[in-house]
Structure 1
Amino acid sequence: MSILLIIVIAIAVVLGVPDFRRQLVTRPVFKVFKRILPPMSVTEREAMEAGDVWWDAELFRGKPDWRQLHNYPKPGLNDEERAFLDNQVETVLAMLDDYSIVHEQKDLPQEVWDYLKKEGFFALIIPKAYGGREFSAIANSTIVSKIASRSLSAAVSVMVPNSLGPGELLMHYGTEDQKQRWLPTLADGRDVPCFALTGPEAGSDAGSIPDLGIVCKGEFEGKETLGIRLNWNKRYITLAPVATVLGLAFKLRDPEGLLGDKEDIGITCALIPTSHPGVETGRRHSPLSLAFMNGPTTGQDVFIPIDWIIGGPDYAGKGWRMLVECLSAGRGISLPALSAASGHLAARMTSAYAYVRRQFGLPIGRFEGIQEPMARIGAYAYSLEAHRRMTAGAIDLNMSPSVITAISKYHMTEMARKVVDDAMDIHAGKGIQLGPLNYLGNAYMGIPISITVEGANILTRNLMIFGQGATRCHPYVFAEMEAAANPDEEKGLQAFDGLLVKHVGYAVGNFSRALWQGLTGAKFNRAPVSGETGRYYRDLTRMSTGLAVVADMSMLVLGGDLKRREMISARLGDVLSHLYMASATLKRFEEDGHQVSDLPYVHYLLQYHLHAIGVAFDGFFDNFGHPILAATLKRIIFPWGIRYKAPKDDTAQKICSSMLVPGVLRERLSHLCYIGEGENDPTGLMESAFVAMYEAQALEKRLAKAQATGRLPKRIPFADLIEKGLEAEVISESEAAQLRKAERLRYHAIQVDSFSEMSAVPSSVVPFKEDAA
C-alpha cells in the first residue's frame, strides 16, 4: 500500500509541478509529436487555416450542445427577397424552355440573358452601394434552387457569378479602385465574369498549377509599367466563352526582385478583361447534355499591370488563401442549391407519376417495389432541404465553415445522385426518352457535373472532410501543430505543455463518457426535446463522443500516415458528416413546428444516418491495422455491438402514402419545384393529371364497386367503363365529365416524345459547334 502511495505521489509531483512535467513528460512527447506530425505544404496549411468552425466543432468534440443548435436563427427571406422570388424569378422561369435550350439552341435565349442581366440575377451578392442586390445566402440558394428545378443550364449560368469568382473575390479583397471599376458593371450585366483555376495538369491539386506569371517591366498604354507577363492554359471554365472579365489563378515569380526579396511568391489572383491582347476565350466544351457556357481559356505572353492583382500588389502570393476562404459560396450555397432542387423536382414529379401511371389496374405507387425507392426520394428530399437551409444559414451568420461546406458539397451531391437515379428507375421509359415532355432527363445528365466541380467528390470525402475536421474542429490539435512549428523551440514547448495537459484531460473524459454511454445505451444522455425524437439526440451525442475517441487515437497512432490512409480518413469523415446531416434534419423538424406528419421522414432519416454511422465505424475497426487497439476501441464504444438498423419498411410505406396525397405536406416537401401553368408544360401537365385523378378516386371506386357486383362489365377500357357507368346511372353527367378529363390528362401525362427527323434527336448525338454562341 505504501509503495502504491509513493507511486501516486510521484505521478502527482511529475504532472502537477510544471518544471518537472515539462522536462520528464512534455519534452519527450513534444519530440515524438514533431516527428509524427504529417508534412504540410504551404497550400495545405493555408487551406487548414482558412474558414471557420461552427456546429461541426460541437459534433467533433464529443459533447454537442443541442440547445445551441436550436438557438441558431432559422434562415428566411426578407420582403425584398421574397418579392424577387415571386416576381423576377417566376418571370424568368416562364421564359425557359429547357428542351429547346439544351437540344436546339445550345444556349439560353438572348431575351433570357438580357432579362437576367437587367434584373440583377448576376448581382445577388454584390452590395447595393455598387448596384447589386445584396441578398442573403439563403435567398441566393433559394433562387438558384428554384431555377434549377426548371433548367440546370439556366441555374448554373446564374450560380457562377454569385459563387467563387471575380465578384466575391473583389468584395472580400479588392482595392476600392477595383471595386469601383468592376462591381457596378458586374452588377448591371455590362460585364460577365468567369474564374479560371483548373487546367490540364492541375485540378484538385491547385498547388501544382503550371500557369506562370513573371514580375517584370513592360509597356502598357504607351508607358513603361511594372507588371506581370503571363502564360496560362485553363479548361472547364464556366461562362468563359461569353465572359468579358477573367479572374485568373497562377503562380507568380519575381526573379529580378522587383517586388521584394522573395523569388517564388506563390499563387496569385488577377482580374483581366477578356478583350486584353493575348487573352483567348470563345471556344466551348460540351458538358454532357447541358447547355451552359463552359470552355477553355489560354494566354501567351500576356502582359498586365501589377495593380490588376486582386487586392493590389500587397496580395501577391495570397491567392490560394483567398480562394479557399471564398469556396464556401460554391460548396455551401450553389451546389447544395442544385442538389436540393433535384430533391424537390424528384419528389414532386415522381409522386405524381407514381399515382398517374398504372399497372395491373393500380397506381404503381401502391407496389412495394416502387415504395422502397420512392420513400428514399421523399426522405432524401426532406434531408436535402434541411441541409440546404442549415448550411446557408451558417453563411448568413457571417461564418465560412470550411468543413461543413465540404460535407455539404459531397453528401448533398451524392444524395441528389441517388434521388435522381431512383426517380429515373420509377419513371423508366418516361425518364429515358428525351424531349419536351421529359422533365427528368437533363437533371439526370447534370448530376455528374455537380459531383466533379468545386473539388471532385472522391477527393472531398477521402481527404478534406476529416483531414480538415481533425485539425480545425479538434479543440487542441491545430494549436499543438502551431506550437510544434514554432521556430523558437522553447516557446513552442511551453505552449505545447499547457495544451498537452488539457488534451489528456479531454481524451480521458471522452473515453470514460464513451464507455458509460455504450454500457447504458445512452439512456442517461440529455435531450433538448421530449417525444419521439428525444432518443435520437441521445444516440447522436453517444456517436459524437465515439468519434472524438477514435479521432484522437487515429491521430496518435497513425500520425502522418493518417494523411495517406484515405479510406480510414473517409470513414471517420462519414461519421462526422452523418452527425451533421442528422442534426440538420432534427433542426428542420423543430423549425417547422414538429409536425406530426413529418415524423415518418424524421424517423427514416435518423435511422438511416445512425445506421450509416455504425457502418462507417465498423469499417474503421476492421481496417484500422492495429487489431488489438481496434478491438478495444470497439468494445469501449459499442460494448454490446453495433445495433443501429436501416429504416424499416413500414416507415417507408408511411412516407409513400403521404407523398401520394396532394396537400400541405407534399407542398412543403417540394415547394421549390417549378410547376408550369397549363397542359403544355410537362410539370404542369403531370401535376394536373395527379390532382385530377386524386379528386376522381371516389368516382373510380364507385365504378369498381359496380363492376364487382356485376352492375358494370369487367375488363373493359376505362373510357368505355365511364360511358357504361353513365348509361347505368352509376355516375352523373358531370361526374362522367370529371372522369373523362382526369383520364385524358392521365393518358397525355404518361406519353413520351418521338421525332420524325434525326436532327430532332437529343444533342448527345449531334456534333457540338465549337464556336462561341
Structure 2
Amino acid sequence: MHLTEEHIMMRKMVRDFARKEVAPMVEIMEQTDEFPSRLIKKMGAAGLMGIPVPEAYGGAGADTVSYIMAIHEISKISAAVGVILSVHTSVGTNPILHFGTEAQKQTYIPKLAAGEYVGAFALTEPQSGSDAGSLKTTAVRKGGSYILNGSKVFITNGGAADLYLTFALTDPEKGRKGISAFIVEKNTPGFHIGKKEKKLGLLGSNTVELRFEHAEIPVENRLGEEGEGFSIAMKNLDVGRIGIAAQALGIIEAALGCSVEYAKNRTQFGRPIASNQAVSFKLSEMAVNAEAAKLLVYHAADLYQRGLPCGKEASMAKQFASDAAMKAATEAVQIHGGYGYMKDYPAERLFRDAKVTQIYEGTNEIQRLIISKYLLQ
C-alpha cells in the first residue's frame, strides 16, 4: 500500500489529535454516555469533519484514503468517535455533495464540513432493516411541501444531529422505485426525537428513534428526483461500509496493542505470559488479521477514490475487518484473563464496541450475500 506525503502528514495529524483530544474523552463518554459535542467542534476546527469535501464548500479537499485513514486512526482510541465521524461524512454529507442541487450544497455542506452541523442518515425502520426497500414512512406531496409520516430506528448521531437524510415513500405502489430522499432539519415541526437506545457499546455515540407526525418538508429539500431515494442510499453505502471497516480495523489494532503490552508485562510462573505459545500464537493471529484487514480497507478506499466499481471490495473489507475485530477483542479479553473483564482495562470496552461492526451498515450475512452475487453474476 503506497501512501503519499500528504497521506503520511494526515496520519500524523490525526494520530496527534486523537491522543491529545479524543483520548481524554473516552472515560467521560463511557461514564456518561453523552454525545461529545465539544470534541466534535474541535474536530471541525481541525478540518476532520469535512476531509473529502472540496475546498470550494469549506472542506479539506483531501481524498477518500485520507478520510478512511482518519476513521481508522481515531477508532484506535475511540470507536464511538470513529462512527460519529463515519456516519456524519459517508452518509450524512456525501449524499448532498453528490446528489444535491447547488443551492442545497451551498446551504448545508460548508456547515457540515466545519462541524457546525452534524449529519445523520435515517433509513432503517422497525420492520425494515436488511430489507431496506420495504420501508413504510410516507411522503405525500402537498403544494410546495411534502408531508412525512412514519418512524425510524437505530439512527446514529440522532438527537445531536442538525440534519437527517431521510428516506420515505412518495409512491408506495412502485416499491423501491417509489422511495425518495429528503433533507430534514432538526427543528422541523412534526419531527421528533424519540427514545435514546441503551447500547452494549459505543457509549457516547447516540442511537435514537425518530418520529414523523405530519412533518412538513419543503420541496426544495428533496434530494434528487422523486423515486431516486433508494438508489441514493445504496450508492452511498459503499463508502459507508468502507468507513465501518476502517473503524473495525482501528479496534483490531487497539486490541493487538493492549494485548502485546499486557502479555509482555504480566508475569506468571516466573516469566511473562507472552513467552507461552498459547498466548503468542493469539498475538500472531491478531497481527495477521490486522494486516489483512488493512489491505482490504485501503484497497476498497483507493478504488472508491478513483471512481472504480468497489461494491464487492467494500463488502469484503467490512465483513472481514468486523469479524476480525470481534475475534481480536475476544482474544484480548482472554489474554488479559480476569482483568480483561474489568472496566479498568481497555479490552472490556473493545469487546463491547466490536460486536456492532458485524451488524450495522449491512450485517455480515448481507455482506456475504453481496459478495456471492458478484461472484455468480
Category of TM-score, reference length = shorter chain:
over 0.9
Q: Distance in 2 between matches of 1:364 and 1:239?
A: 41
Does 1:147 find its partner at 2:84?
no
1:115 to 1:77, Cα distance in 2 relative to 1, 3 A: farther
Q: Distance in 2 between matches of 1:283 and 1:392?
A: 34
Contact 2:79/2:250 (8 A) holds in 1: no
Q: Distance in 2 between matches of 1:115 and 1:104?
A: 21
Instruction: Find the residue that maps to 1:281 and give its secondary structure.
Output: strand
Does 1:244 find its partner at 2:153?
no
1:274 to 1:400, Cα distance in 2 relative to 1, 3 A: farther
What is the one-letter code of the residue matched to 1:245?
A: L
Does 1:269 find its partner at 2:178?
no
Instruction: Find the residue that maps to 2:91 and give its secondary structure.
Output: coil
Aligned to 1:474: none
**Residues 204-246 of structure 1: CA deviation (Å, up to 9, x unaligned):** 10111011111222xxxxxxx2x22111200111111111111
1:406 to 1:229, Cα distance in 2 relative to 1, 3 A: same
Aligned to 2:308: 399
Aligned to 1:203: 129
- The structure with the largest strand share of the pair is 2
Instruction: Find the residue that maps to 1:275 and give its secondary structure.
Output: coil
Aligned to 1:281: 193
TM-fit CA distance, 1:88:
5.4
Aligned to 2:139: 213
Q: Distance in 1 between matches of 2:274 and 2:13?
A: 35
TM-fit CA distance, 1:368:
2.0
| 1:316 pairs with one of 226, 237, 241 | 226
TM-fit CA distance, 1:408:
1.4
Instruction: Find the residue that maps to 1:242 and give its secondary structure.
Output: coil
Instruction: Find the residue that maps to 1:183 and give its secondary structure.
Output: helix
Does 1:76 find its partner at 2:3?
yes
Instruction: Find the residue that maps to 2:168 and give its secondary structure.
Output: strand
Q: Distance in 1 between matches of 2:329 and 2:16?
A: 24
TM-fit CA distance, 1:108:
4.8
Contact 2:180/2:222 (8 A) holds in 1: yes
1:370 to 1:392, Cα distance in 2 relative to 1, 3 A: same
What is the one-letter code of the residue matched to 2:371?
A: I
Contact 2:89/2:119 (8 A) holds in 1: no
Instruction: Find the residue that maps to 1:280 and give its secondary structure.
Output: strand
Q: Distance in 2 between matches of 1:423 and 1:265?
A: 46
TM-fit CA distance, 1:84:
4.2
Aligned to 2:336: 427
| 2:104 pairs with one of 146, 168, 178 | 178
TM-fit CA distance, 1:100:
2.3
Instruction: Find the residue that maps to 2:255 and give its secondary structure.
Output: helix
What is the one-letter code of the residue matched to 1:145?
A: H
Instruction: Find the residue that maps to 1:191 and give its secondary structure.
Output: coil
| 2:146 pairs with one of 228, 247, 254 | 228
Instruction: Find the residue that maps to 1:317 and give its secondary structure.
Output: coil
Instruction: Find the residue that maps to 1:425 and give its secondary structure.
Output: helix
**Residues 495-537 of structure 1: CA deviation (Å, up to 9, x unaligned):** xxxxxxxxxxxxxxxxxxxxxxxxxxxxxxxxxxxxxxxxxxx
Could you tell me the TM-score, scaled by structure 2's length? 0.93
Q: Distance in 2 between matches of 1:88 and 1:392?
A: 18
Contact 1:75/1:390 (8 A) holds in 2: no
Mapping 1:57-76, distance limit 5 Å: 74-76=1-3
Contact 1:126/1:132 (8 A) holds in 2: yes
Q: Distance in 2 between matches of 1:270 and 1:246?
A: 8
- Larger mean CA deviation between 99-108 and 245-254 belongs to 99-108
Q: Distance in 2 between matches of 1:317 and 1:125?
A: 27
Does 1:193 find its partner at 2:106?
no
Q: Distance in 1 between matches of 2:310 and 2:120?
A: 24
Contact 1:194/1:239 (8 A) holds in 2: yes
What is the one-letter code of the residue matched to 2:363?
A: A
What is the one-letter code of the residue matched to 1:426?
A: I
Contact 1:148/1:155 (8 A) holds in 2: yes
TM-fit CA distance, 1:75:
4.3
Instruction: Find the residue that maps to 2:97 and give its secondary structure.
Output: helix
Moved over 3 A (4+): 81-85, 108-111, 262-265
Q: Distance in 2 between matches of 1:393 and 1:326?
A: 15
Instruction: Find the residue that maps to 1:163 and give its secondary structure.
Output: helix
Mapping 1:306-385, distance limit 5 Å: 306-311=219-224, 315-332=225-242, 334-385=243-294
| 1:453 pairs with one of 332, 336, 360 | 360
1:357 to 1:245, Cα distance in 2 relative to 1, 3 A: same
Q: Distance in 1 between matches of 2:14 and 2:276?
A: 41
1:98 to 1:185, Cα distance in 2 relative to 1, 3 A: closer
Instruction: Find the residue that maps to 1:233 and give its secondary structure.
Output: strand
Gaps of 5+ in 1: 1-73, 218-224, 256-261, 472-773
TM-fit CA distance, 1:114:
2.2
Q: Distance in 2 between matches of 1:353 and 1:370?
A: 11
**Residues 305-359 of structure 1: CA deviation (Å, up to 9, x unaligned):** 2221113xxx210111111111111112x11111211222222221222121111
What is the one-letter code of the residue matched to 2:364?
A: N
Instruction: Find the residue that maps to 1:76 and give its secondary structure.
Output: coil
1:75 to 1:392, Cα distance in 2 relative to 1, 3 A: farther
Q: Distance in 2 between matches of 1:98 and 1:120?
A: 19
| 2:217 pairs with one of 304, 307, 311 | 304
1:253 to 1:426, Cα distance in 2 relative to 1, 3 A: same
Instruction: Find the residue that maps to 1:302 and give its secondary structure.
Output: strand
**Residues 523-562 of structure 1: CA deviation (Å, up to 9, x unaligned):** xxxxxxxxxxxxxxxxxxxxxxxxxxxxxxxxxxxxxxxx
Mapping 1:556-595, distance limit 5 Å: none
Contact 2:41/2:116 (8 A) holds in 1: no
Aligned to 1:156: 83
1:263 to 1:208, Cα distance in 2 relative to 1, 3 A: closer
Instruction: Find the residue that maps to 1:381 and give its secondary structure.
Output: helix
Does 1:93 find its partner at 2:19?
yes
TM-fit CA distance, 1:169:
0.7
Contact 1:130/1:183 (8 A) holds in 2: yes
- Aligned residues: CA RMSD: 2.1
1:458 to 1:124, Cα distance in 2 relative to 1, 3 A: same
Q: Distance in 1 between matches of 2:234 and 2:175?
A: 23
Q: Distance in 1 between matches of 2:321 and 2:149?
A: 36
